[in-house]
Amino acid sequence: MRQLLLPSLLTLLTLLAAPAVGASKNPEADLKRVQQQIQALQRSVRDDVTRRDQLSAKLRESEEQVGAARKRLAEVRQSIDESDARIRGLAADRAEWERKQDSQREELAAELRTAYITGKEEHLKLLLSQKDPAALGRMLVYYSYFGKARAGRIAEIQEAVSRIESLTAQERVERERLATLEQQRQQELAGVDAARAERERALAALRGQIKSSKDALARLKREAQALEKLIADLRRALSQAPAPDGQPFARVRGKLPWPVAGRIVAGFGQPRGGGMKWSGVLIATERGTAVRAPYAGRVVYSDWLPGLGLLLIIDHGGGYMTLYGHNEQLYKAAGEAVAAGEVIATVGDSGGQARPELYLEVRKGTAAQDPRRWFRGAQP
């Protein structure tokens, strides 16, 4: 493995050896250069997995397909929700205009009944019954106002009829769109099922390669070494990154919110077998649960890694990182800034897990720390 990674490391070390004279003068350029180095490192890790272990690469591909299918399904479901909301809004608008139309018709009917009772000779009767010419003029003006009001009422009714017809047509189009989205949702569900089936075949092949507990332990050690190497390489790249803004991460020790709610099924420092111990905690929870960043930082890794599946790593500055493994979907790419509480991923079983779980680590430099000392409250 060292031989395979040697060219990438030499390239990375050459970049890191560049003068850091401009670090304090142009932090944006420094950050961009570090991001490019991290992206190159991420590509190197993917290439290494593909060259070294075809079965792991197949598992990675199938689990990424599951994540992509889940993402498409979530987008369709969101579109369905939005379409439902538009239909409800259009129906409410239509009902309101229908109420206006009924009210306007009732008022117009009352005015027409009054005019009918008065009779066609209303102006002549008025003329003959009035002795005062000024009073007669005022009454004629009043009658003209009544006539204009009736004409206006008719125009309002015509507007209401036109508006109701328009809203009805829009609602019909939206319902047709909703029916199409429902069909698309069924297709995406089938796509998720197919991707999950492909993932199970890849996982079965990978497990079939392990013929003994010795083989399982050897693979576990390789995966742990791959993570340690990744952390060390990221540390070297981040040594040139400008310091992040905000409160230092060390000051929020014991105050952070957990990224997900769930049950800890493996604790920091507990044995994993073969003399190995857990470097973080494993939290069992529901598939698709949103993983939220507990603190602001910048994503420095967002890709698949053997043993941890879809992995996301956030740099919080001051040498601190948090790691989130076994995700089903990753919502952030390397180089993106994240805010505290922002959704960064969803829980899954990538990396060959038997059930949905989130793997959580806290690192200071390359040393893992007990996450339970950093997060407030206790997971059950």
Report the amino acid identity of residue 221.
Answer: K
In degrees and rounded to multiples of 5, residue 183 shows phi and psi of -65, -40
pLDDT tens-digit map of 329-345: 999 998 899 999 999 99
Q: Name the more confident of 312 and 142.
A: 312
pLDDT tens-digit map of 222-250: 888 888 888 888 888 777 666 666 778 99
Q: How confident is the model at residue 146 (pLDDT cuts 50, 70, 90)?
A: low
* CB-side neighbour CA atoms (13 Å) of 82: 8
Q: How confident is the model at residue 158 (pLDDT cuts 50, 70, 90)?
A: confident
| pLDDT number for residue 21 | 40
Q: How far is CA 142 from the centre of its chain?
A: 64
Whether the Cβ atoms of residue 326 and residue 308 lie closer than 8 Å to each other: yes
The mean pLDDT of 363-373, rounded to a whole number, is: 92
Report the chain's mean pLDDT, rounded to a whole number.
77
Check whether 185 has a pLDDT greater than 50. Answer: yes
- Token digits for 126? 């008025």
The mean pLDDT of 13-28, rounded to a whole number, is: 48
| pLDDT number for residue 344 | 96
- Whole-angstrom Cα distance, residue 90 to residue 111? 32
Q: Which domains does the chain have, with CATH numbers?
A: 26-209 (1.10.287), 244-380 (2.70.70.10)
* CB-side neighbour CA atoms (13 Å) of 354: 2
- Whole-angstrom Cα distance, residue 89 to residue 78? 16
Q: Match 């609602």 to its residue by tokens.
A: 171
- Whole-angstrom Cα distance, residue 41 to residue 234? 8
CA–CA distance from 93 to each of 9, 80, 89, 98, 241 (Å)?
Answer: 64, 20, 6, 9, 54
- Whole-angstrom Cα distance, residue 263 to residue 282? 8
Neighbours of 109 (CB within 10 A): 11
pTM of structure:
0.64
| pLDDT number for residue 238 | 78
